[in-house]
Amino acid sequence: MDKTLKSVVEKYLEGEALCFVLLFNEYCHYIDDMIDEGNTAPEDILTLCIKALDIYSSPFYQKNLSVLYPVVRVVTNMYGDSVVFEKSSDTKKQAYSVTLRHSCNEMWTTVIELCKGRTLARRASIELRELSLESHYNSQGEPI
């Protein structure tokens, strides 16, 4: 996780919630790297399995399973759509794929709302989306 992004998340979360969000972010980036690189190495697949086990057996996830499970499904679906759109010949879909890649923001804001309430989740949501924009677009507004 980028230092700036981590500092935003740490501003709103601590303890088990922060640990869960950091693990989830690492897991999502690991999946993204595997897909982007076409990586199917057995050891990397096994590492991915262990990361999933760590996340979905974490105390925070287990306590909040009924809220977080559907969010995992939504985030996974959004990411899957981004992969399809990124490979499209349609330039609008390619551009939109960059936005869909920020699907982890949905998990972060859900966890912040669970722990700190709607008002802080809204504030964090805007901060996180601004960081996503800065890290995925150049000064001309083009995806990088």
**Count of CB atoms situated within 10 Å of the CB of 75:** 21
Any idea where the domains of the chain sit in the sequence?
Answer: 3-136
For the stretch 17-36, pLDDT in tens is 999 999 999 999 999 999 99
Whether pTM > 0.95 for this model: the answer is no
Confidence of residue 89 (pLDDT cuts 50, 70, 90): very high
For the stretch 38-51, pLDDT in tens is 999 999 999 999 99
CA angle 9, 79, 8 (to 5 degrees): 10
* Tokens, residue 36: 């982007």
Helix (H, G, I), strand (E, B) or coil at 143: strand
Find tokens 């800065």 and name the residue: 134
Longest Cα–Cα distance in the chain: 44
